[in-house]
Amino acid sequence: MSEKFQHILGLIENKTAKLGVVGLGQVGLPTALSFADTGFSVTGSDINKKLLDNLSRTVAPFEESGLSELLQKCIHNNKFSIANKTEDLILICDVIIVCVPTPLTENIKPNLSYLEDVMKIFANHQLDGKLVIIESSIPPGTFENLILDSIQKTNTLGKDVWSAFVPERLAPGSATREIRTTPRVIGYHDFDSGVLAKKLYQNMVSAQIITTDVKIAEISKLVENTYRDVNVALANEIGLICENYGVDFKELQSVCNSHPRVNLHSAGPGVGGPCLPKDPILLLNPQGKNAIDSKIIRYARAINDSMPEHVVDLVIRGLSHHGKSVNGSKIAIWGVTYKANISDTRLTPAERITSLLVQKGSKVSVFDPFSNESFDAIKAHDMWDAIAGRDVLVIVTDHDVFKNADLDTIKSKLATPIIIDTRRAIDGKLANSKSFTYLAVGYSGIKNETKK
Ligand code: SAJ
């Protein structure tokens, strides 16, 4: 073992290594603060100056359970600070963790521009004795091409610089808890980098840490979310089949899931968030190579993307049952975030549902206790204001506050008693018993029209 390796290993083991986190978003900030909370001194950088301003005033830039408290604690203990430029952070840190986004372009291809910008900075800096970790989700092949090429401009991997891919596994809403309890994967190209990365994460993660070849790590991250996306698509498709048979998806789901090897996911309004709609696309677009085709992954994406249209069809069906047309109707939407009890609206199905309804001539009002986003619809003051005088209530997100909301109050506010419950937040049978027209993905409360 070289002296340089021994030195960085010692710094990591006794937590005197200075850590830097590049990109302080929904992955980077919980990562930076969680390492700071274990005793490391952590510096963060970001290109978003407003976000840095907020952080320096100890204001958490987004809603995440426990994040605000952690931020206050780490700033108070002098364990977390901000660098105005990534260049400054590289100069002072021994370990640098990159957590910048890798979104999609408008034509649905991986957009690596944020990562490329950061790697350009690395390529222009002396990285002698440092460990560079990549947490951003990347198309397979990116580590060996882009990352290693950049960090080896001035140094040699395994000799005077080390690097590993450690895919983030943070679910918005439970990030600060799950970061310590979810097993982690370390992908390495040279063995010593794997050893250093494992030592680093052992300081913070109480769960298993698996080391593997970097290509497996790259692919595994994307397969995990593709697995979920495909399973949700299957659930959505089964939901549509249930509507045809006139049976209740939820009841079917609980019957099927009594089998020890079946885990039928929940049907709903479609799939949103920063990960599931994107990672299957990264999986099929290897870095520097031709795209791969996969029918099941492509169809799953298409099914999930089509669900907002199905929700609008349910709205139209509910209205026509009452002799009303969607054009000129008044619709209320409860929930704009992509899943329950978080403030994140990225790629949320609520956006498409709202815009389709507006296109069809509906007047739409929305309410979400976690977000001010309204997608150009009317923003209501509260959940009851949102439904006052409306023809249809569409529940798009199952925030706790919407679950089992009082049906008598809903009925007294709505102009027409129609509920489209995309998340099964309300008891459908109870709603039917109170003379609501209650429809859900996989629950056709109205007698099936396609039945022969
Ligand atoms: N959804 C359904 N039906 C289901 C489950 C989910 O319609 O049965 C929808 C949700 O409503 C949401 C979307 O799918 O719109 C995605 O939600 P999610 O709960 O699958 O989670 P994310 O995107 O917040 O986080 C995922 C998680 N990945 C897996 O569970 C494999 C998380 O653990 C990852 O860390 C995260 O992606 C990530 O960062 O990659």
- The string of DSSP codes covering 155-196 is S-BTTTEEEEE----PPTTSHHHHHHHS-EEEEESSHHHHHH
Count CB neighbours of 359 within 10 A: 10
pLDDT at 16: 98
Q: Whose CA is nearest to atom 6 of ligand 1?
A: 232
Gap between the Cα atoms of 290 and 299, Å rounded: 20
User: Rounded to the nearest whole angstrom, what is the distance from the C-alpha of residue 32 to the centroid of ligand 1?
Assistant: 22
Q: Using the predicted structure, report yes or no on whether residue 161 has a pLDDT greater than 60.
A: yes
Give distance in angstroms: CA of 196 to centre of ligand 1. Answer: 30
The residues lining ligand 1, judged by C-beta closer than 6 Å to any ligand atom, are 168-172, 224-225, 228, 232, 235, 265-266, 268, 271-273, 275-276, 338-339
In angstroms, rounded to a whole number, what is the distance separating the alpha carbons of residues 377 and 355?
8
Q: pLDDT for 380-396, tens place per residue?
A: 999 999 999 999 999 99
221 has catalytic annotation: yes
Helix (H, G, I), strand (E, B) or coil at 313: helix
Active site residue 93: no
What are 184-231's pLDDT values in tens digits? 999 999 999 999 999 999 999 999 999 999 999 999 999 999 999 999
pLDDT for 449: 43
* Active-site residue, selected from the candidate residues 198, 221, 250, 339: 221
User: For the chain, how many helices (H) and strands (E)?
Assistant: 17, 15
pLDDT in tens, 254-285: 999 999 999 999 999 999 999 999 999 999 99
Region 128-137 average pLDDT = 98
Which residue of 178, 225, 399 sits with most ligand 1 atoms within 8 Å of its CB, as the best mutation to test the pocket?
225
Residue nearest atom 37 of ligand 1, based on CA coordinates: 275
pLDDT at 62: 87
Give residue 448's pLDDT.
42
Instruction: Report the atom number in ligand 1 closest to the C-alpha of 236.
Output: 7
- The distance in angstroms from the start CA to the end CA of the chain is 76
Report how far ligand 1's centroid is from the alpha carbon of 436 (Å): 31
Share the mean pLDDT of the chain: 96
Which tokens is 299 given?
């169809």
Q: Which of 232, 395, 398 has the most ligand 1 atoms within 8 A of CB, as the residue to mutate?
A: 232
Alpha helices per DSSP H over 291-402:
295-321, 349-359, 383-387
- How far does residue 418's CA lie from ligand 1's centre (Å)? 29
Atom 24 in ligand 1: residue holding the nearest Cα: 171
The pTM assigned to this predicted structure is 0.95
Catalytic residue among 199, 275, 324, 330: 275
Cβ neighbours of 213 (radius 10 Å): 12
